[in-house]
């Protein structure tokens, strides 16, 4: 049994290590989303990226390989700016997020249907595939983690400021917010391959929310989120091996156990 | 001639087509303790936000220490406590009070003096909850934390927007005593308040704002005005202010 597990790991090692690096990277951004009551924002971004990926894959043959990701990225960032338009016409943040989610999912499906991409490839976008990841994807995750650490070091005081202040004299949040959006988009782009469009946003919420319940200080929150994400990936891998489950689904179900555990802990603690 | 710390010239501000501030001009000099009073919705907080560059005025100019607002760089010279400061803090917020109080160091690139920091903790009685999460604090405790945060970089000017809202009477009294102490040590203070009766001891200038600047002068001249009601024709609660 153990031998089989190690053999399975050998097959998906790039995927699992990439996922762990992604999980650590997300622990630096996800607590801010929860504190700013914006947990659904990554969900909207995944749908925007879905649209961008479908559009780019229509013309993939005409785009040189190194430019594929930048083009997806640019389309996604431009599409994400429609949120600003919705904010301008004064929709609530969650309403704007919901509108964007549905709108870009609809656009993506229409483009997929009209360009004959309604196939297995579409399913791999939707649900991810840990098996298909290569050394190149691993390097991408390493790059993402390094970039996350650099941007976190640079902008942490301004990101954290927005959980305690709407505005501050002499401080312009625009640049910090742009890089936050940039980083989220990049994290989701990397995460989509592993977890799929439908489940990658769970990574941004569950572990972070649990960590925020009992950690003291921002860095400990980040550390606990990173540990919970890593455990979920390893646990999800074992679940998917034991019961032949899809990896992304198994990871999210494993994260669900945190919530069950936390609820039991609360009940016991309050019972005392 | 002494350069004013704040100089506002013919400032206008409108929001969604509604005029909020109209032709406001005023100065705050070193050593002033200015109380800005006026009815709710009269534009007091908006005026301060325009002064601090948080809101962009429609017309007019703002100078800080003689420099135009867009050229001003020494923001550490200003401590600011916004209106209902703690309301934005979520109960899940894990940042400890200690982390929170040290944030201005990173925002404005100026070191906090350890002695001053320790002194402030004692004066405002914050030491007992220094390692608590912000999300665990009561409104009054949060308010104290915001006030200390505004003072940690030893500002020359402290701007407070209704800082005692949510504090009980004894805490308010203690707070204003402390404020007076800082004023006596040379801090220039701008205070938006409705509690003028608590301030007669320290306030030396008063500005009455209700879209326009109805009065700007010394506290004494304000107290001797015979027809105060004309300054607030639509300020129907004027009787509740103790001159």
Query: Using one digit for the tens of pLDDT, what is the confidence trace for A49-76?
Result: 989 988 888 887 788 878 888 888 888 8
**Tell me: the pLDDT tens digits for A70-93?**
888 888 888 888 877 777 777 887
Cβ atoms of B207 and B36 closer than 8 Å? yes
* Interface check A172 vs B, CB under 8 A: no
Cβ atoms of B30 and B36 closer than 8 Å? no
Predicted confidence (pLDDT) at residue A119 exceeds the cutoff of 80: no
Tokens of A25: 């990277």
CA gyration radius for chain B? 18
Spell out which residues of chain B touch residue A167, defining contact as CB-CB under 8 Å. Answer: 49, 54, 82
**Tell me: the pLDDT tens digits for B101-124?**
999 999 999 999 999 999 999 988
Record: contact B131-A216, CB cut-off 8 A? yes
* Interface check A158 vs B, CB under 8 A: yes
CA distance A86 to B37: 36
Domain A2-271 in CATH 1.10.490.10: no
CATH of the domain spanning B6-83+155-240: 3.40.50.300
- Give the per-residue pLDDT at B63: 97
- Give the per-residue pLDDT at B231: 58
- Give the per-residue pLDDT at B243: 37
- Give the per-residue pLDDT at B228: 59
**Tell me: the pLDDT tens digits for B24-73?**
999 999 999 999 998 888 899 999 999 999 999 999 999 999 999 999 99
CA gyration radius for chain A? 19
Report how far apart the first and last C-alpha atoms of chain A are (Å, whole number): 41
Q: How close, in Å, is residue A232 to chain B by CA atoms?
A: 22
Cβ atoms of B40 and B192 closer than 8 Å? no
Q: What is the pTM of this model?
A: 0.87
Chain A / chain B CB contacts < 8 angstroms: 73
- Give the per-residue pLDDT at A272: 64
Q: How close, in Å, is residue B87 to chain A by CA atoms?
A: 9
| CB crowding B145-183: b at 16 or more within 10 Å, else e | bbbbbbbbbebebbbbbbbbebbeeeebebbbebbbebb
Tokens of B89: 């803090």
Kindly report the three-state secondary structure assignment for every residue of B14-52: EECCEEEEEEEEEEECCCCEEEEECCCCCCHHHHHHHHC
Record: contact A160-B108, CB cut-off 8 A? no
Q: How close, in Å, is residue A221 to chain B by CA atoms?
A: 7
Q: How many residues does chain A have?
A: 272
Q: Which of A67-71, A253-257, B150-154 has the lowest mean pLDDT?
A: A67-71
Collapsing DSSP states into helix, strand and coil, what is residue A116?
coil
Give percent of chain A above pLDDT 90.
53
CA distance A36 to A162: 8
Record: contact A169-B88, CB cut-off 8 A? no
**Tell me: the pLDDT tens digits for B155-178?**
999 999 998 877 777 778 888 888
Cβ atoms of B46 and B60 closer than 8 Å? no
Query: Average pLDDT for residues A6-17, to the nearest whole number?
Result: 86
Collapsing DSSP states into helix, strand and coil, what is residue A166?
coil
CA distance A82 to A76: 10
- The DSSP secondary structure of B207-234, one letter per residue, reads EEEESEEEEEEEHHHHHH-S-GGGGGTT
Q: Looking at per-residue confidence, does A152 or A80 come out higher?
A: A152
Q: Which residue of A has its CA nearest to B91?
A: A35
Tokens of A123: 């399913």
Closest CA to B112 of B156, B157, B149: B149
Q: Where are the domains of chain B?
A: 6-83+155-240
What ipTM goes with this model? Answer: 0.86
| Partner residue opposite B80 with nearest CB, options A169, A209, A221 | A169
Predicted confidence (pLDDT) at residue A175 exceeds the cutoff of 90: yes
Query: Average pLDDT for residues A16-21, to the nearest whole number?
Result: 95
Q: Which residue of A has its CA nearest to B84?
A: A165
């Amino acid at each position: 049994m153990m031998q089989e597990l190690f053999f399975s790991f050998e097959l998906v090692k790039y995927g699992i290590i990439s996922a762990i690096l992604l999980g650590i990277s997300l622990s630096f951004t996800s607590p801010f989303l929860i504190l700013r009551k914006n947990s659904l924002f990554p969900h909207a971004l995944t749908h925007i990226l879905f649209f961008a990926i479908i559009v780019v894959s229509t013309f993939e043959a005409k785009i040189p390989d190194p430019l594929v990701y930048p083009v997806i990225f640019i389309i996604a960032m431009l599409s994400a700016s429609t949120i600003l338009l919705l904010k301008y016409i004064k929709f609530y943040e969650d309403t704007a997020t919901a509108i964007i989610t549905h709108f870009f999912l609809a656009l993506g499906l229409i483009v997929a249907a009209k360009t004959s991409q309604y196939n297995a490839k579409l399913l791999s976008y939707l649900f991810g595939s840990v098996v298909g990841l290569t050394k190149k994807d691993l390097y991408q995750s390493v790059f993402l983690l390094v970039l996350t650490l650099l941007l976190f070091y640079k902008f942490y005081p301004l990101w954290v400021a927005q959980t305690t202040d709407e505005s501050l004299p002499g401080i312009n949040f625009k640049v910090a917010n742009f890089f936050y959006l940039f980083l989220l988009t990049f994290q989701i782009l990397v995460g989509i391959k592993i977890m799929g469009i439908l489940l990658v946003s769970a990574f941004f919420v569950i572990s972070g929310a649990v960590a925020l319940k009992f950690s003291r200080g921002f860095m400990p929150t980040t550390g606990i989120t990173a540990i919970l994400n890593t455990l979920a990936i390893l646990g999800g891998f074992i679940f998917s091996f034991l019961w032949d489950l899809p990896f992304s689904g198994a990871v999210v179900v494993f994260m669900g156990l945190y919530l069950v555990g936390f609820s039991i802990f609360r009940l016991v603690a309050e019972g005392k | 001639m002494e350069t004013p710390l704040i100089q506002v010239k013919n400032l206008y501000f409108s929001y969604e087509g509604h005029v909020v501030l109209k032709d406001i001009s005023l100065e705050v000099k070193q050593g002033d303790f200015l109380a800005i009073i006026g009815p709710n919705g009269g534009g007091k907080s908006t005026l301060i936000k325009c002064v601090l560059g948080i809101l962009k005025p429609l017309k007019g100019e703002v100078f800080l220490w003689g420099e135009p607002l867009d050229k001003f760089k020494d923001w550490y010279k200003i401590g600011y406590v916004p209106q209902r400061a703690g309301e934005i803090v979520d109960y899940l917020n894990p940042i400890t009070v200690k982390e929170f109080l040290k944030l201005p160091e990173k925002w404005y690139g100026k070191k906090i003096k350890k002695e001053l920091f320790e002194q402030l903790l004692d004066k405002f009685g914050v030491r007992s909850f220094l390692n608590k999460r912000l999300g665990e604090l009561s409104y009054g405790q949060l308010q104290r934390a915001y006030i200390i945060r505004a003072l940690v970089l030893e500002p020359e000017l402290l701007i407070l927007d209704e800082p005692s809202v949510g504090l009980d009477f004894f805490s308010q009294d203690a707070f204003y005593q402390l404020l007076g102490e800082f004023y006596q040590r040379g801090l220039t203070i701008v205070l938006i308040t409705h509690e003028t009766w608590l301030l007669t001891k320290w306030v030396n200038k008063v500005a009455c704002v209700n879209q326009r600047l109805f009065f700007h002068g010394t506290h004494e001249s304000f107290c001797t005005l015979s027809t105060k009601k004309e300054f607030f024709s639509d300020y129907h609660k004027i009787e509740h202010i103790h001159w």
